[in-house]
Amino acid sequence: MSDDVSLTQVLLALGVFAGGIAVAAMLRVLLVRLLDRGDADRYAGKLVGRFVGLVVVMIGAVYALGLVGIRVGPLLGALGVGGIALAFAAQDILQNFVAGVLLQVRRPFRVGDQIRSGEFDGVIRDVNLRTVELTTYDGLTVYLPNAEVLKAPIVNYTRTPNSRTSLTVGVAYDTDLRQARETLQEACASAEGVREDPPPEVWVEEFADSSINLAVRYWHRADIASMWRVRSAVAMAVKEALDRAEITIPFPQSTLWFGPGSTTLHVRQPQDGADPEA
């Protein structure tokens, strides 16, 4: 930096920097109007506008520093390792920016959609230069890197109107399975939120250790809130129907077998007042 920087140069540099910020703001507004065209669900204009605005501000800052005698090139060279770290950071920013543009081109979701990305479920709130902002159903705000979202599987609950859920119900081994299937199917169909078309299905699933398990499969609205609400309604309707039909949902049971003639098991009833653990 020169020792004889005049007040005029300082004011000119500040004016150039302020002008860069003003131009960046105008470009952002223009790109939003051109690319998004008033559609609140589109965010390509916002994304590109933020990137272009950042570039314009950086160019204005470099030019303003040059007006007061500060050369950015030698300054970056003096940073040494810090300059390399800055380059890696810029690479990460560029990677996530490109991923954000690709997400907009592919449009697997819109702002306001309920999605799952990796291990996170929630509602899309925003997509910026680096991250996708997601609000989980627990009320937490999660910022997912654009590149990670692009690489991970994306489940869009809003895009598909209906979804199917399966509820496993166990019945005792002496149960009439035809009666159990009819009872469960009628109970499931009567639950609030279960779709009539396709109709609910009940199939024998497996012979488990303590019960014969049946899979109750039904369709409902795809959003997460509906899934939990309907699942609870189906479970309550199934339990009430099985109680009316006197069909038992068995507890876990174990059978002890000692082999013929190998062991004799004595069961002693405790006397009145005696400690049963004695």
Please compute the mean of the pLDDT values over residues 38-60 and round it to a whole number.
69
- Per the model's pLDDT, the better-predicted residue between 48 and 204 turns out to be 204
- Per the model's pLDDT, the better-predicted residue between 153 and 7 turns out to be 153
Q: What local confidence, expressed as pLDDT, does residue 104 receive?
A: 76
What proportion of the chain, given as a percentage, has pLDDT over 90? 38
CA nearest to 250, candidates 209, 215, 216: 209
Residue given tokens 């570039």 in the structure block: 55
- Report which listed range, 59-68, 80-89, 114-123, is most confident: 114-123
Please compute the mean of the pLDDT values over residues 120-136 and round it to a whole number.
89
In 10 A of CB 225, how many CB atoms?
A: 11
134 and 123 Cβ atoms separated by less than 8 Å: yes
Give the whole-angstrom CA distance, residue 44 versus residue 38.
12
CATH number of 162-244: 3.30.70.100
Helical spans, DSSP H, in the chain: 7-31, 44-67, 72-79, 81-106, 146-151, 177-190, 224-244
Q: How confident is the model at residue 247 (pLDDT cuts 50, 70, 90)?
A: very high
- Per the model's pLDDT, the better-predicted residue between 273 and 195 turns out to be 195
Q: State the amino acid at position 62 in one-letter form.
A: V
Please compute the mean of the pLDDT values over residues 218-239 and round it to a whole number.
93
Q: What local confidence, expressed as pLDDT, does residue 263 receive?
A: 63
- Report which listed range, 35-44, 121-130, 215-224, 250-259, is most confident: 215-224
Residue 65: pLDDT over 80: no
Please compute the mean of the pLDDT values over residues 186-195 and round it to a whole number.
95
Q: What local confidence, expressed as pLDDT, does residue 128 receive?
A: 79
**Equal CATH topology for 114-156 and 162-244:** no
* pTM check: above 0.75: no
**CATH architecture type of domain 114-156:** Roll (2.30)
Q: What local confidence, expressed as pLDDT, does residue 261 receive?
A: 63
| Interval 82-111: pLDDT, tens | 555 556 666 777 788 788 878 877 788 888
Share the mean pLDDT of the chain. 81
Residue 32: pLDDT over 80: no
**Residue boundaries of the structural domains of the chain:** 7-79, 114-156, 162-244
Give the whole-angstrom CA distance, residue 216 versus residue 194.
12
Q: What local confidence, expressed as pLDDT, does residue 30 receive?
A: 80
- Report which listed range, 44-58, 86-100, 223-237, is most confident: 223-237
Q: What local confidence, expressed as pLDDT, does residue 218 receive?
A: 97
Residue 76: pLDDT over 80: no
- Per the model's pLDDT, the better-predicted residue between 271 and 118 turns out to be 118
271 and 278 Cβ atoms separated by less than 8 Å: no
